[in-house]
């Protein structure tokens, strides 16, 4: 790892980045509709991601071994495609905690990757979550509106531009790596890439 190792624990998670095209589309949607939906926090353009596993506070001295394991896992996978899905929420329907974009994993490769990563991290003491894996992209958090939130009023996150019956090209993107993020809670953007792990071509 090239970056200088710090002494303080680092708050880490493993995730997949979005393509530049999708980040731009989500940012355009946010700029157009942010004033219509009263969420306390909106995700920065550079912070859009799909979490694979949250690790929490990790001592920097452990990073080389963790990174080596993640690279080994990456070499077990070939690039695969994901599709951008519909919007959804976590929390109370009328006052959600999270507004998110769904991810369609047609070939179940993302689920296989998540399983491989969480299995690999167990040897470092990181416990798997008991709840089912629900890949998503967080758009906004903590609804604060005076009126009840209405999911039906949320416009489509990604315009449907493809002719009927054809795949919407811009809704797909190829995953050829995953990354280790460090969280800086008071910064914008909030997440820093420490290392990337490329899959086998």
**CA atoms of 128 and 4, how far apart (whole Å):** 29
Q: Which of 123, 5, 121, 120 is nearest to 60 (CA)?
A: 5
**CA atoms of 24 and 31, how far apart (whole Å):** 10
Our answer to whether residue 108 is catalytic in this structure is no
**CA atoms of 61 and 182, how far apart (whole Å):** 14
Give 48's Cβ-side CA count (13 Å radius): 20
Check 44, 49, 75, 184 and give the catalytic one.
49
Q: Which two tokens stand for residue 22?
A: 């999708």
Our answer to whether residue 134 is catalytic in this structure is no
Residue 200, CA distances (Å) to 12, 20, 72, 79, 171 in order: 24, 21, 10, 7, 23
Check 75, 134, 136, 186 and give the catalytic one.
136
Adjacent-strand bridge partners of 198: 177
Q: Which of 182, 137, 141 is nearest to 38 (CA)?
A: 141
Q: Which of 183, 174, 194 is nearest to 77 (CA)?
A: 174
User: Active-site residue numbers?
Assistant: 49, 136
């Amino acid at each position: 790892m090239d970056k200088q190792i710090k002494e303080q624990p680092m708050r880490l998670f493993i995730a997949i980045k979005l393509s530049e095209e999708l980040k731009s589309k989500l940012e355009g949607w946010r700029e157009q509709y942010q004033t219509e939906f009263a969420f306390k926090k909106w995700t920065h353009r550079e912070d859009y991601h799909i979490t694979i596993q949250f690790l929490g506070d990790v001592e920097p001295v452990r990073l080389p071994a963790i990174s080596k394991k993640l690279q080994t896992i990456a070499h077990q996978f070939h690039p695969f495609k994901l599709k951008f899905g519909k919007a959804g929420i976590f929390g109370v329907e009328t006052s959600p905690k999270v507004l998110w974009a769904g991810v369609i994993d047609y070939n179940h490769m993302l689920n296989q990757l998540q399983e491989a990563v969480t299995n690999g991290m167990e040897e470092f003491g990181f416990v798997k979550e008991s709840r089912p894996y629900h890949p998503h992209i967080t758009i906004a958090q903590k609804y604060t509106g005076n009126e009840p939130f209405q999911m039906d009023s949320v416009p489509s996150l990604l315009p449907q531009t493809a002719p009927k019956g054809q795949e919407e090209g811009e809704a797909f993107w190829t995953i050829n790596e995953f990354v280790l993020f460090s969280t800086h809670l008071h910064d914008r953007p909030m997440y820093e890439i420490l290392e990337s792990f490329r899959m086998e071509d």
